[in-house]
């Protein structure tokens, strides 16, 4: 059985900093939302931070960005990066993205402990990406 092909787009590696800037903006606002007990916003911003940070590291390392409608495909793209922590970090990203439906589309608000958990994961992932790109 062959591996499933992820729809990607070639990107100039210099664009990685643009995706990192988006991740940085979301990260900063995520922390502020959590501090202000705005858990829904913190969760949404954590998901967006993770996605933008993943785009940044994939563009930086592979010159590729996922075009898939399924954000979980982005986790597989991160996993394919030839860096020692990429596989572990792809799992962290998967945990973040798996909360997207809850934080953005379900009728109930997310709880403080759920917001703390997703922000913690997004922080770890974002900080790893920053360390790779710097």
d(CA 107, CA 24): 28
d(CA 9, CA 12): 10
At 73, is the secondary structure helix, strand, or coil? helix
117 by Cβ neighbours in 10 Å (0-12 / 13-18 / 19+) ranks as middle
Predicted confidence (pLDDT) per residue in 10-58, tens digit = 999 999 999 999 999 999 999 999 999 999 999 999 999 999 999 999 9
User: What is the structure's pLDDT at 1?
Assistant: 39
> With the C-alpha atoms ordered 94, 100, 101, 103, is the resulting torsion angle positive or negative?
positive
> With the C-alpha atoms ordered 40, 38, 94, 79, is the resulting torsion angle positive or negative?
positive
User: What is the structure's pLDDT at 5?
Assistant: 82
Whose tokens are 């996605």? That residue is 51
Looking at CATH, the fold of the domain delimited by 10-133 is given as 1.20.120
d(CA 90, CA 86): 6
User: What is the structure's pLDDT at 3?
Assistant: 52
Residues in the chain, overall count: 134
User: What is the structure's pLDDT at 6?
Assistant: 87
Domain boundaries, the chain: 10-133
Predicted confidence (pLDDT) per residue in 58-99, tens digit = 999 999 999 999 999 999 999 999 999 999 999 999 999 999
């Amino acid at each position: 059985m062959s591996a499933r092909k992820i729809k990607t787009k070639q990107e100039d590696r210099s664009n990685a900093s643009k995706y990192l800037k988006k991740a940085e903006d979301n990260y900063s606002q995520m922390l502020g939302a959590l501090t202000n007990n705005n858990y829904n916003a913190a969760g949404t911003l954590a998901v967006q931070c993770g996605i933008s940070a993943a785009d940044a590291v994939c563009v930086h390392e592979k010159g590729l960005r996922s075009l898939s409608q399924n954000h979980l495909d982005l986790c597989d793209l991160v996993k394919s990066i030839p860096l020692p922590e990429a596989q572990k970090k792809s799992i962290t990203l998967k945990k973040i993205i798996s909360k997207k439906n809850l934080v953005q589309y379900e009728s109930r608000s997310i709880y403080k402990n759920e917001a703390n958990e997703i922000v913690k994961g997004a922080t770890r992932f974002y900080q790893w990406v920053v360390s790779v790109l710097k």
